Amino acid sequence: MNNIVIITAALLGALAIILGAFGAHAFKKILSAEKLDSFEVGVRYQMYAAITLLVLGLNLSFDYQSERVACYLIIAGTFLFSGSIYFLSFAEYWKKNLKFLGPITPLGGLLMIMGWIAIMIRFL
């Protein structure tokens, strides 16, 4: 489990840096300032998740269910939270109605919060 979490952390971190670089350069030309700000929030939270998963992967034994659940929740939450923000940021540019993704963003955030609570439960 440690390797899976660390590899996922590395993948999320690398993608956050790549997307952040595109956001700072290439996407500035095609996204409005408001959409670019939203995109950057997705990148930031993705990097927070990557760092969190890296710390968890390096420090936990994953002998407890709450440790595994925490990682699964943070990973799923990151994909839903950041992923929906990325797509919503580009909806106008792609001329697509992706408003159905709006409720997915807070659901992803809720899963990430639940992941942090699972970490807390593990240590209580």
Q: What is the pLDDT of residues 8-50, one digit of tens each?
A: 999 999 999 999 999 988 998 899 999 999 999 999 999 999 9
| CA–CA distance, 105 with 84 (Å, rounded to integer) | 6
Distance (Å, rounded) from C-alpha 98 to C-alpha 118?
31
The total number of structural domains that make up the chain: 1
Tokens of 44: 């930031």
Confidence of residue 111 (pLDDT cuts 50, 70, 90): very high
What pLDDT shows up at residue 103?
A: 96
Q: Give residue 119's domain range.
A: 2-123
Mean residue pLDDT across the chain: 96
pLDDT at site 86: 97
d(CA 49, CA 35): 21
- Tell me the mean pLDDT in the region 96-122: 96
How much is the average pLDDT of 45-62? Answer: 97
Q: What pLDDT, on the 0 to 100 scale, is given for residue 91? A: 96
Please give the structure tokens belonging to residue 56.
Answer: 């968890």
Nearest residue to 60 (alpha-carbon basis) of 8, 102, 119, 116: 119
Per the structure block, which two tokens stand in for 8? 């996922």
The total of other beta-carbon atoms located within 10 Å of residue 103's CB is 10
Percent of the chain residues past pLDDT 70, beyond the cut: 100
CA–CA gap between residue 55 and residue 29 (Å, rounded): 35
Residue 68: pLDDT band by 50, 70, 90 thresholds?
A: very high
Look up the pTM and report it.
Answer: 0.93
Percent of the chain with pLDDT over 90: 94
